[in-house]
Amino acid sequence: MSNKSKNFLQNLLKPFTSNSNRGQTEEDLEAIAAQEQKQFPFEIIKAATKDFHPTNKLGQGGFGPVYKGKLNDGREIAVKKLAHGSTQEKLLVYEYVANESLDKLLFKSGSQQVLDWKRRMDIITGIAKGLLYLHEGAHTCVIHRDIKASNILLDDKWVPKIADFGMARLFLEDQSHVNTRVAGTNGYMAPEYLMHGDLSLKVDVFSFGVVVLELISGQKNLTFNRDPNSRNLLEWVYRLYKQGRSLEIVDHTLTPSTIPDEIAMCIQLGLLCTQADPALRPNMKQVVLILSKKPSTLEEPTRPGFPGSRYRTRRPTASLTSGEFTSHSSGSTTNTNTVNSSITVTATERTSGLTSPKLDTHGKRPTQG
């Protein structure tokens, strides 16, 4: 990458820069997690939720009920009770997000209208910046493994928050990829990971691409049935793209607010991120630069990946745009010294639950989206 491009990225992330040492070892992981945590006395949580009053109950999750609360300083919180398998009740405190999760708006009939194109574009950009932080700006590189619409929360200003780090993995600097038991959600998992357990940063890139195409089309990849000749959303989008008809995928509720050139760029970016060959997918730094600069030309995407699809490993190809991206390297090798930053898209569940790849030998099985 040219010095000009590096300076651009550094200026983009400058407000969130941290000067902390990046040379972390496995022994540092618990200390890192402790730094990320904020603890509240039980009395404060009890008062904030009005003693867990039924009227403050937001819902019931798989591990316990969730309550809304308000701290003395005015901040709204969500409190999850974890009581299973323990004689002592445990509480998790999250930032409360007024607009719930992206899937409840995107896939619910009658709700899509609140997501005009500008708002969807901002969500795409916000998720990209959040993933860039996890991959290159966090204390230790984090692979989320479960990026999907239901794990993107929207606050009262519609800022996206990447949530649910229960399947995340810490990724040490000297690793290009790891082999692990598959964990994730069907419809969002990259084929090399789903079929072979090959885990790299490009797994998150693939999931991000699926979310981008879902945001544009208003269609869910896993349950896609709009075209009988396409097995899923990705195949349908790619077919229309090759026919020069990619704008036909656009959610009809976007019609009054569409910006055709910008949408076309995002469709192509989504297809680049979901290519079957992980070596051809851009990394999140490239994605953020593309979304920031909105180049007029991008590479031609190859076929998307999905369960059962095959691909040939290809040699790195020419740049995504001008001379700023010299090649498509595998992008799997992580250098956490590249960007010392945090991002406005925050992780609502901190890294306290993460474990080293060497220690975490078991993952959760794939779930339905």
Selected catalytic residue, list 28, 51, 146, 198? 146
Question: How long a stretch of residues is the chain?
Answer: 369
Q: What is the rounded distance in angstroms from the CA atom of residue 78 to the CA atom of residue 8? A: 37
Residue type (1 letter), 182: V
108 contacts: CB under 8 Å, gap ≥ 6: none
Q: Which of 224, 208, 217 minimizes the C-alpha distance to 274?
A: 208
Structure tokens at 203: 């797994």
Q: Judging by DSSP bridges, how do beta strands 64-70 and 169-171 pair with one another?
A: unpaired
Q: Apex CA 142: angle with CA 147 and CA 122, to 5°? A: 45
* Residue 174 CB coordination number (10 Å): 7
Burial of 261 (0-12, 13-18, 19+ CB in 10 A): exposed
Cα 124 from chain centroid (whole Å)? 9
Q: Which of 315, 333, 330 minimizes the C-alpha distance to 278?
A: 330
* Residue 101 CB coordination number (10 Å): 19
Establish whether 277 is a catalytic residue: no
Positions annotated as catalytic residues are: 146
